[in-house]
Amino acid sequence: MGRMAGLNLLLLSTIGRKSGKQRTTPLGYFEHDGGYVITASNAGADSHPGWFLNLRDNPHVQIRIKDKEMPAIAQVIGPELRKELWEKLVSLSPQYGQYATSTKRVIPMVLLIPSGSVTFVQQLDKLWKIASALHLSGINQACDLMT
């Protein structure tokens, strides 16, 4: 599909919060923890891009990467993880560092999690169940949960 500002390119489709119509936007992304990170830089403007406002209202989105299209859930990344991912973004595409200095807002980052994929929270939940089974019922039940 191509590259944008040193990042791979995806197509993000959201539903317009006012129009109710599907809107598609090309965006640079990088991968993180089974998902795709996009950045609402709006080229350093003081307002959020429309696509960000749309997915904030309705996090159910459609993404296309190369020839693969899939539904996803959009999660705005919290401050601690954002700091780590922002550093990675700027190392991949230095111009985002310039965007941050040209705006008064904190530029949001969004994790797109493909629907049906196992999220980190789901993995932790499964590990907790395995640990509980080991503690309470022995190794056999834990082995059953691991499959």
| Sequential DSSP letters for 54-104 | HHHH--EEEEEETTEEEEEEEEEPPHHHHHHHHHHHHHH-THHHHHHHT-S
What is the reported pLDDT for 143? 56
Question: Domain map of the chain by residue range?
Answer: 3-116, 118-147
Q: What is the pLDDT along the chain (147 residues), one digit of tens a residue?
A: 678 778 999 999 999 999 999 999 999 999 999 999 999 999 999 999 999 999 999 999 999 999 999 999 999 999 999 999 999 999 999 999 999 999 999 999 999 999 875 555 555 566 666 666 665 555 555 556 555
How far is Cα 39 from Cα 8, in angstroms, rounded to an integer? 13
The pTM of this model reads: 0.77
Residue range 3-116 forms a domain whose CATH class is mainly beta
pLDDT of residue 1: 67
What is the per-residue pLDDT for 50?
96
**pLDDT for res 4:** 74
The Cα–Cα gap between 71 and 13 comes to 9
